[in-house]
Amino acid sequence: MASHGIEIRNLYKIFGPDGGAFVDLVKQGMSKAELNEKHGHVLGLKDINISMPAGGITVVMGLSGSGKSTLIRHINRLIEPTSGEVLYDGADICKMDQAQLREFRRHKTAMVFQKFALLPHRTVMENTVYGLDIQGIDRAESTRKGQYWIERVGLAGFENHYPNQLSGGMQQRVGLARALTNDADILLMDEAYSALDPLIRVDMQTVLLDLQQELKKTVVFITHDLDEALRLGDKIAILRDGKVVQQGSGQDIVLRPADDYITAFVKEVNRGRVIQLRTIMRPLDGQPEALTLPADTVLEAAAKVMTTSGHSTATVVDPKGHPVGLIDLQGIISAMVTPTSHADRPIAAE
């Protein structure tokens, strides 16, 4: 398991023949539009600072053109940065030589793409063990590993099928099996589920969450879909025009959107299915209530239990069953319906 997450520090990407020449101008405040109009260069990423926790899922979210795919391609250096650092396990990926980079890509990272990127003339099994073949691993050993992951992603019995015999959701499972067979610490998922039908997409999210509970990979997941981000992300970073506009837990972002742009994003969210009791509970005082609910229960589920059992208050407990707070039905309902406008909250310090 990865001992460290990924640290992205002061990362800039300017596309064009002479990007490095313009970093200082951008730092001094030159806009994306001006850089393009005056100098014919495109600002891809501007001063990105994100800590991606080891063993967690970091979701990078934004509309198309926000820089999220550019960002994920810096982690395995498919795109060369203009300036800044991408650190993993203390090493700066941006400074690796070709041999180190090849080693890092082969053994530390695996990527799952939106378009599946399966090899059409190879079977499910052959696609799954492709990375191991490149590493020169014995076929018997790689087949054993491949079989294990094919079964884990729910494709037992399809080992000898070809990609064109599979549905989109199944092809994406092959992509996931291939990535996991590689046994990499870092899983990079670029809009991996965007091409799938909504129900299959939710299925695949569940597959990832179930596997992640056990594998604790360092996952970087790119999406433009807020529901997906909230369901998957231990941490979410929202990009706009190549800049991070907000980062934090899904709870933070839904309850305390940083600006109008994010407020517009989160206003469609079903808050009752996202916000957890731990986020809105108040401190314990006096005797605990008879009804207890886990701290990670979402509001909708809590309201259902409380109304069914006829309780208007409950004690919130941690995973060990220790009381950590109190909650009442009134508080739950108001958190479900009223977005906190940012007019009436203190602005967080920079």
CB count, 10 Å around CB of 147? 17
Q: Of 266, 286, 307, which residue is a domain's last?
A: 266
Torsion of CA 315, 318, 320, 326, to 10 degrees: -10
Say yes or no: 223 and 290 in one domain. no
What's the rounded Cα separation, in Å, for the pair 85 and 77? 11
pTM for this structure? Answer: 0.83
3-state secondary structure of 317: strand
Let me know if residue 312 belongs to a domain: yes
pLDDT in tens, the chain (350 residues): 445 799 999 999 999 999 889 999 999 988 888 999 999 999 999 999 999 999 999 999 988 788 888 999 999 999 999 999 999 988 999 999 999 998 898 888 888 877 767 888 999 999 998 888 888 888 888 999 999 999 988 888 999 999 889 888 888 889 889 988 888 899 999 888 887 888 888 888 988 898 898 889 999 999 988 888 988 999 999 999 899 999 999 888 988 888 888 888 888 888 888 888 988 899 988 777 789 999 989 999 999 999 999 999 999 998 888 999 999 999 999 888 865 554 444 444 43
d(CA 282, CA 226): 28
Q: Whole domain around residue 98: which residue ranges?
A: 6-108+184-266
Has residue 61 been placed in a domain?
A: yes
**How many whole angstroms separate alpha carbon 298 and alpha carbon 271?**
9
**Residue 136, token pair as written in the block:** 């020169």
Q: Are residues 326 and 288 in the same domain?
A: yes
Look at residues 175, 167, 188 and name the one whose alpha carbon lies nearest to residue 124: 175
Comparing C-alpha atoms, which of 273, 274, 288, 296 is closest to residue 325? 288
What pLDDT, on a 0 to 100 scale, did the predictor assign at position 252?
87
Q: What is the CATH number of the domain that holds 101?
A: 3.40.50.300
Q: Where are the alpha helices (DSSP H) in the chain?
A: 23-27, 32-39, 68-75, 98-107, 124-128, 130-134, 139-152, 168-181, 198-215, 226-232, 250-255, 260-266, 277-280, 299-309, 329-337
CATH number for the domain including 305? 3.90.1280.20
